[in-house]
Amino acid sequence: MSLLEHLDRLYNYDNTQEVTVRQEPNRLAFKPGTPLISLDHYLIEATDDSTDNLRPAYNVKTGEALSAKLYEHTTFHVKSHLLLANVQGVCNVLDVKKSNEGVLVFTQQTHGDLHGYLREKKRLSESQAAPLFRQITEMIAHAHYQRIALRDIKLKKFVFTDESRTSLALAHLDDAQLMDKTGLLTDKRGCPAYICPEKLESDSYSGKAADLWSLGVILYTLLVGNYPFFDSTPQELFSKVRTGYYQVPEHVSYLARSLISSLLTYDPTQRVPALAILEHPWFKHTASETTITTDQTVPK
């Protein structure tokens, strides 16, 4: 059975639906006056002002609040083997609908992303950051076990699945790539602030090691409130990344510094694997909650 035949059996995928846009009263979880897309038994927010094209959605039959993401037909066909992969920690795909506008993938409802959360909090204490960082590390460890490089890892990719904002999931696998036995990749895809030195210097690089560098950037940013490498222009930013030099403020504990340095290591072969990170003593000895200041922000 082909992948598209499998999709059709699971989701009635090949039954192309006509999309209509209408105004709905605010009886659902939508802002007043929001134009909505009506597709089969779903209502989806028509405007896209959310992270990564994730839109609020509503299942009229079940009354369930969801998230939906629209893909172009070609993009979905190329990436569907990963978009629908069963990877721990990734938002579960609940339904797939093909429309005249593209392919809508429905997942569990989300409650904002980690980037927005950090901008609100300025920076996190180590006791606040540790459980969130553990969840992210577990997702990466599981993906690497399945020989999947997540590639474009950044704060915006991780979304909260509960209103209390304690549980994280990876929003999607749009940028992920299956690795061969060598584990090497050749593309240069990635957010500049999270890119590793070897992506800038080499024709090929380890997909896992590149993910680990980005993981180090995330931990640093959670605890400091700024990126370890930042500049107003990509050229200057890349120059800083190439040096591998960064400074950790004094309020960051010794154990946290140790963990950051094991990830933001210039030599990719020396970066600690994701599974080993979970055994780092920092998780058991997180520092007392630090005072939150208001003079540091995560750049947009």
Strands (E), the chain: 20-23, 35-39, 42-45, 54-59, 64-71, 93-98, 103-108, 148-149, 158-160, 168-170, 177-178, 184-185, 205-206
Domain count for the chain: 2
Query: What tokens appear for 219 in the block?
Result: 């931990």
Q: What is the CATH number of the domain that holds 81?
A: 3.30.200.20
Instruction: Please report, in angstroms and rounded to a whole number, the separation of the first and last CA atoms in the chain.
Output: 45
φ and ψ at residue 67, rounded to 5 degrees: -120, 150
Query: What is the mean pLDDT of each successive set of 10 residues along the chain, which is 300 residues long?
Result: 50 51 48 82 77 81 91 85 81 89 90 95 96 97 95 95 95 92 92 95 96 98 96 92 95 97 97 96 70 44
Closest CA to 140 of 132, 150, 152, 154: 150
| Residues 259/219, Cβ–Cβ less than 8 Å | yes
Domain co-membership, 103 together with 120: no
169-184 confidence digits (pLDDT tens):
999 998 999 999 999 9
- Write out pLDDT tens, residues 16-26: 554 444 444 33
Annotated catalytic residue 119: no
pLDDT digits (tens, 9 = 90+) for 61-99: 998 999 999 898 888 888 887 877 778 899 988 999 988
Q: What CATH code is carried by the domain that includes residue 206?
A: 1.10.510.10
Q: Are residues 128 and 243 in the same domain?
A: yes
Residue 192 lies in a domain: yes
Report the 10 Å Cβ neighbour count for 289.
11
* Segments forming the whole domain that contains residue 65: 3-108
State which of 45, 74, 108 marks the end of a domain: 108
Of 55, 123, 151, 165, catalytic: 151
pTM assigned to the model = 0.83
Note whether residue 291 is domain-resident: no
